[in-house]
Amino acid sequence: MSPFESEFRRRAWWTICRHESAYGEEAKTRKTSILHWTNIPMPSNSNDTDLYPNMTHQVVPRSGLTDVSLPLLVFQVVRLTGRLAVFVHEEEKNCGHIMTERSISLREKSHGVVQMARTQIEQGMLQHCDVSRPFDWLILLVAKILLTKVEILVIEPPQQTDLAAVDAFHNIKLTLSLDIIECHQLLIADERLKTWHWVYQNAQQWHATIYVLEELARRPDAPCATRAWQLIGVIFSDIELLNKHGMKLEHRTRLLEVHGHALRAREAILKPISSSASATAITEQSWGPPLVPQQPIPSADLDSSTKSEPWQFDQSLFDIQEAQLNSNAFFWPSVI
């Protein structure tokens, strides 16, 4: 097989793995996967112009960003989640829900694998990103979404008897889920990224959204409820868009159902104080009509100091000073 054919076969194979992983996430099963019985190398980090039919040697990978940096990022996370699925399945098979030395060892392995993959992604790709370039900004946002999902997977649940630890556990998951929704909304609202809008408008963050709504229904006074309702408000500002951009009917139905539960839970805690002026102010300012994005975050608004190390996802990378926004502009409360 020629190096040219080999490289394109690798690209095709990992594209298949990416779609299988997406289906596994949808079907809530990862116990079996084509990743478990193959060991196909990743495509090389190269531009299309580096490949030609008559080439006789394997292409030399480039450093930094290339034409395939975005799919390579996705492929690396697909491989990572495949490895984590093996650990989870082995833990459930051998340990069940009982904490043993073996289960602790498996979780330590999971954290080690995640940390190694994160370091490879940061050093090999994200540290070369410049937020002033749209393609780099896209990669940073997609990386934030994917790596946050992985972080949720490896959070260790506490013992159910420790109520304080359980609340802290759900607060962390809620915050991370809001980060996913927030980055996705930023991705599809930024005019600089309109070339890729057609891809990510169809990639609704269903799992994160439903989890946030379930938490708001269960704990309407959660610490980040205000931030959650602002983001949920954007999603439900035009519910028909969810159907238009490919959300399945059963997902849409479930989303509307849980949204109704969350609204009733919110109204239940507001009702006892509805007659007071402070409650009116909170309702209008924090839980009022959803705000609609009016403009993307311009690169000029980003602190120049963040461009040297943008891969760290620092708070300042996403923040906009409130004074720079008019009364109708959309304000992103916070992103880790």
From the DSSP assignment, how many helices (H) and strands (E) are in the chain? Answer: 12, 0
| Contacts of 291 by beta carbon, 8 Å cutoff, 6+ apart | 230, 233, 234, 330, 331
pTM of the model: 0.75
* Axis-axis angle for helices 101-124, 134-153 (nearest 10): 180
| Contacts of 209 by beta carbon, 8 Å cutoff, 6+ apart | 177, 181, 232, 235, 255
pLDDT on residue 249:
74
Q: What is the pLDDT of residues 34-47, one digit of tens each?
A: 777 778 899 999 99
pLDDT on residue 281:
47
Q: What is the pLDDT of residues 231-251, one digit of tens each?
A: 999 888 866 666 665 667 777
**Pick from 11-20, 119-128, 198-207: least confident:** 198-207
Rg, C-alpha atoms of the chain: 22
Does residue 54 carry a pLDDT above 80?
yes
| Contacts of 299 by beta carbon, 8 Å cutoff, 6+ apart | 131, 132, 137, 192
pLDDT on residue 256:
86
Q: Which two tokens stand for residue 88?
A: 């989870």
* Axis-axis angle for helices 225-235, 206-218 (nearest 10): 130
The average confidence (pLDDT) of the chain is 76
**Which among 145, 248, 124 has a CA at the least distance from the CA of 188?**
145
Q: What is the pLDDT of residues 75-127, one digit of tens each?
A: 999 999 888 877 766 666 665 555 555 556 677 788 888 999 999 999 999 99
**Which among 53, 72, 52, 54 has a CA at the least distance from the CA of 62?**
72
Q: What is the pLDDT of residues 268-293, one digit of tens each?
A: 888 765 555 454 444 444 433 333 33
